[in-house]
Amino acid sequence: MELSGQVAIVTGAGRGIGRATALALARRGIVVVLVSRTRPEIDSVASEAEAVGATALPVVADLGQEDEVAGMVDRTLQAYGRVDILVNNAGIALPERPVVDTSLADWERILRVNLTGPFLCARAVLPIMMRQQSGKIINVASIGGRMGIAGIAAYGAAKAGLLHFTASLAAEVKRFGIDVNAVCPSGTDTRMLHEAGRAKGRTNLIRPEEIANVILFLVSPESSAITGTAIDAYGMSNPLFGPLLPGGK
């Protein structure tokens, strides 16, 4: 799996799946650009990446803002001159609430971060990848984009949109040597899941490192036959094995 020297942008890299993915890439000798709105978190991950011999660049950016996304990509180009991999992982979730109690502001914030953000990031790196005639874009979606789950309509709608965006973009850019795929985790042991109240009492959560390994495969040459698809990575939280949450939720 020869990846050394490639340049990867990982959004939401300060914790959870983003941190695990950034470190998995770093261990393969990939230069990692760590993007988050929280400086201390990405500085810490940058130190971890450098400890395994990788080069890391932490960049603070709000990925729902077009100018900040452009600035993040410009910094990457200035530092390294290329972009080989984009992992659109940054996302937010709300505590469970019915649609009737969801404000327009919360709906729009979920869509801006979870759907518009990946669109802006992909659009910003595509001209670079098209010139290179190569690239890998991975969108981190969710089981919530595959099936309806009570209480997370805004989140699920954004992730379902991200899956359709993945397939449509893949169809557009394959002729440029760019592969676009998505990963759909189920319950993963992240701070976001705990803060949303969806981890209480569960013993079947996936480790972020397990999702990172799926992403690592998708950015590798070994995944050359795969584009425009979404891989369901549910682990023991697969609905086949029982309810998603205690009490059958």
Q: Looking at the annotation, which residues are catalytic? A: 155
Question: The tokens of 8 are what?
Answer: 């990867």
Q: Check if the beta carbon of residue 80 is closer than 8 Å to that of residue 23.
A: no
Q: Check if the beta carbon of residue 153 is closer than 8 Å to that of residue 102.
A: yes
Contact partners, residue 243, CB within 8 Å, separation at least 6: 249
Q: Check if the beta carbon of residue 229 is closer than 8 Å to that of residue 181.
A: yes
The DSSP call for residue 206 is B
Amino acid occupying residue 179? D
For the chain, strand residue ranges (E) read 7-11, 31-36, 56-60, 85-88, 135-140, 178-185, 230-233
Q: Check if the beta carbon of residue 164 is closer than 8 Å to that of residue 121.
A: no
